[in-house]
Structure 1
């Protein structure tokens, strides 16, 4: 199921809603539940926390409302929208975003040339964090503050959304803790690394575009066989596949949860393939007016403009 957070474009549309998307239609899951005499959470994080029973109920309601031939006249008013009639937001605000650095072999090589990182492949995941305040949604701006950076860069990454609390989880059990998948564009100010620390480089406001949806895990049989693509102003910059991950998802969950508890709604950004701006000859960086499009197979495209923050 493709889950989205949205607001209707109608001026009286009200607060953000949890929706299920099928093609060009979006269903308001809470409204469908009320019409059926039951209840569902009104936001994605609460739905994740509610567990498998709530997810199954949401799927049943969405299938009934969005399936071909569904009797639209029997649906509550305003429960189903055309995609063009809504604005998609970031699917949720994670409690924490854990980034994985140097997780594609070719990116390790280009980073050693352009970012002074180690040429040797890491023997365990390289981890950093991005705060929830860095999250921004589809269509929302990435802020370019020339007073803080002249090296604003892009990274298209598969996002793993955690569904169950994970503490000291084995690789064999890791899949049981995955709720679904999305896209994170790991925006980075390359000239704001401080004594090797990445937090300010990667954690500034708007540096975690996230969305456009969360696709539940059952919709992707093999998350290690997904094409990734990123373009700037229509020009391809990154073109790879998740099969090239150095550390795969079960290893990442096991490694992180060995010392940090992963909670429902947390996000692991699984690393960037090669093709970042810092690695190009000459280097290329984002400027106000640029348009970034990050695409992952089956999930969709996350589009964000770059704007002057001052």
Structure 2
């Protein structure tokens, strides 16, 4: 399992490195910047590998409960989206170079499409796995977080929308971390609100990129502003769905903790009575 996973990530790393090297040669990018991105790419894929090793117990088919001995097709597609993040950062960093706008737009569209494809493949071929759900959730939030920061730095996103996205991602991350630390982790699950949020934000980001590079005519501004407000409203509304899920999980945690306390108290009382007898 470990060797097959390492082989897949190695292949992805080689492909991504080759792609970056071609851009480095074509645009004569500074060597220090190029090497920094290469190191980041290597460390990122190494981190992914150790994450997969840590959660090797989650490699099983949800419908059949059978263990997996290698990543399936849906997982590999999801892994592409995660592994490709440093390359997206590179393209966004050098978006002002000639034709980089086209390369970046096409790359982002393809990456966003994989979010739709991997889920469809998993359902069609009954390849839904626990690790796949974890990777899918991680890749979505990591990609949106990265693109949001760089979009904001390049004045593509308005401040209010960036703060809203940051709040949504922080809520998700903080909640998951807290429950993991108290040894009551939340199960990764897809919700209607989560799917709508991710899909609408990804679609908006592609549209924003088209506006930034190709549609700078002022007559289109009201249309893009309307799109931003619509997506912003969706993100805000479905934040309450996430808050509700956290509250339900907290309620479940308190209930389980109380039950364990009562069981321990009962056991202690029983032992005490036995000793007295």
State the TM-score, normalized to the length of structure 2: 0.27
Select the structure that is richer in strand.
1
Structure ranking higher on relative contact order (CA contacts 8 Å, 6+ apart): 1
Larger Rg: 2
TM-score of the pair, normalised by structure 1: 0.25
